[in-house]
Amino acid sequence: MKDKKIVWLSAFRNVVPADYENWLEDSSLQGWNIDKIDQWSSILMTFKRGNPKKYRYVYDVQAMPKKDYKTTYEEFGWEFVGQMASVFIWRKEYKQERPESFSDKESLEKRSKRDIAAASVSFMMFLLAAIIITVVFIVNFRYLKPGDILQFILGMVLTYGIFIYMAYVMNKINKNRQR
């Protein structure tokens, strides 16, 4: 039986924060645990087989956390699992009642809004890149060789593709902002 499992693109499979939390929780229940989350975990995440644990995971977004951010969570008994860019992952073991970090609708929605704001940075960057590539392509079109044209088209497909994908992600988070 394998004792390691690698999951690719976890952050892209579960774009809604609550889905990401539930996915981690389900993995722990099946005995697939993570020791640490880091910058690369959104791309590649390694799980180790162990004892099933009942964890409540929390996905929080803080672009500029203040000094008392971590202490506040820790005092409430949350364990810091790690950070991917501005996303902080916390967990707490529980038996019956599932602990919540966002205890009312307003703060839950705000968490989603911060997540959308974080996604909008990539959205704007890829939009800008797509526009620049398109403009350079049009302006220089008559000087380009077929190979160059192909490269430009690939670049445009990629940047517009990611731009459209980010728009889809933001819309999906927004639709699910209350959970």
Partner 1 sequence: MNIEKIRKRFIPMSETMFYILLSLQEERHGYGIMLYVKKLTKDRIVLGAGTIYQSLSKLEGDGLIIHVDEIDRKKNYVITDIGRQILSEEANRIKEIYSIVEGLL
Residues lying near partner 1 in the complex (CB under 8 A): 58, 60, 66-73, 75-76, 78, 90, 99-104, 106-107, 110-111
35 vs 100, beta carbon nearer partner 1? 100
Whether the Cβ atoms of residue 79 and residue 91 lie closer than 8 Å to each other: yes
Instruction: Kindly state the smallest distance separating residue 65's Cβ from partner 1, in Å.
Output: 8
17 vs 152, beta carbon nearer partner 1? 17
32 vs 88, beta carbon nearer partner 1? 88
Instruction: Kindly state the smallest distance separating residue 42's Cβ from partner 1, in Å.
Output: 20
28 vs 101, beta carbon nearer partner 1? 101
With tokens 């981690």, the residue in question is 24
Is residue 70 classed exposed, middle or buried when 0-12, 13-18 and 19+ CB atoms within 10 A define those classes?
Answer: middle
CA distance 102 to 100: 6
17 vs 126, beta carbon nearer partner 1? 17
Instruction: Kindly state the smallest distance separating residue 172's Cβ from partner 1, in Å.
Output: 21
Instruction: Kindly state the smallest distance separating residue 87's Cβ from partner 1, in Å.
Output: 13
Instruction: Kindly state the smallest distance separating residue 19's Cβ from partner 1, in Å.
Output: 17
CA distance 59 to 4: 23
User: Which tokens go with 110?
Assistant: 């705000």
Percent helix, strand and coil across the chain, each rounded to 5?
A: 55, 20, 25
